Amino acid sequence: MSEYKELYSTKGSSGDFNFGLKIMVKLDREFTENDTRGMYRIADGIVDALHTESLRLDPGTHERTKVTRAEMINLFPAPIFVEEIPNGYGPENPYTAFQPWFVVTTQKGRIKIGWRRSVIHLEWTDSAIKKTAAEIFPKEEAWPGYETTQYDQVIHCHSYEKAREYIARLLSAETV
């Protein structure tokens, strides 16, 4: 039988989380593309699990979650009730596992808000506001020349300032 060969190797960091993973395999044949694809799927799961647990154990993660919650709630002028829900972008993703979303009850109904990687997802499908994003936010730009992602009753905010502005526009929108 042959010697061990490296089938997979990676290293990286994210914040205070540093990792390295090397998978060595002893096999009497050359590795195939299927071997490599399968190993990448497995290795990604290992890296995600290590990353998620490292974030869970990091006290800073929980402090950032508290700060984010306060910042999100403060975007609304008079929230009636706030419900924390799992991240709608993917609660199993290590980058979003500790970034919950919120359903904020306002005088116009329930508005869903939360970080989706680098943008804030703002959704009013469960509110009295029946207008679409295109009707409320026509030609909204993320930055000059680049349109903000919007569809149905959803718009992405590229900062807390934009989120505050969009929420104010939503809450002043007609409900029919």
Which pLDDT does position 49 carry in this prediction? 86
Half-sphere exposure of residue 176: CA atoms within 13 angstroms, side-chain side: 0
Rounded CA-CA distance 112/28 in Å is: 54
Q: Write out the H or E segment, with its range, that includes residue 9.
A: strand 5-14
CA distance readout (Å), 38 to 3, 23, 92, 101, 159: 21, 12, 20, 33, 38
Which pLDDT does position 91 carry in this prediction? 67
Q: What is the pLDDT of residues 83-126, one digit of tens each?
A: 999 998 876 777 778 889 999 999 999 999 999 888 999 999 99
Which pLDDT does position 15 carry in this prediction? 63
Burial class (CB in 10 A: 0-12, 13-18, 19+), 17: middle
Query: What percentage of the chain has pLDDT greater than the value 70?
Result: 97
What region does 152 belong to: left with phi over 0, alpha with psi -120 to 50, or beta? Answer: left
28 vs 122: which has the higher pLDDT = 122
Half-sphere exposure of residue 107: CA atoms within 13 angstroms, side-chain side: 10
Q: What is the pLDDT of residues 43-88, one digit of tens each?
A: 988 888 888 888 888 888 889 899 999 999 999 999 999 999 999 8
Per-residue pLDDT band at 1 (split at 50, 70, 90): low
Which pLDDT does position 128 carry in this prediction? 94
The pTM of the whole model exceeds 0.75? yes
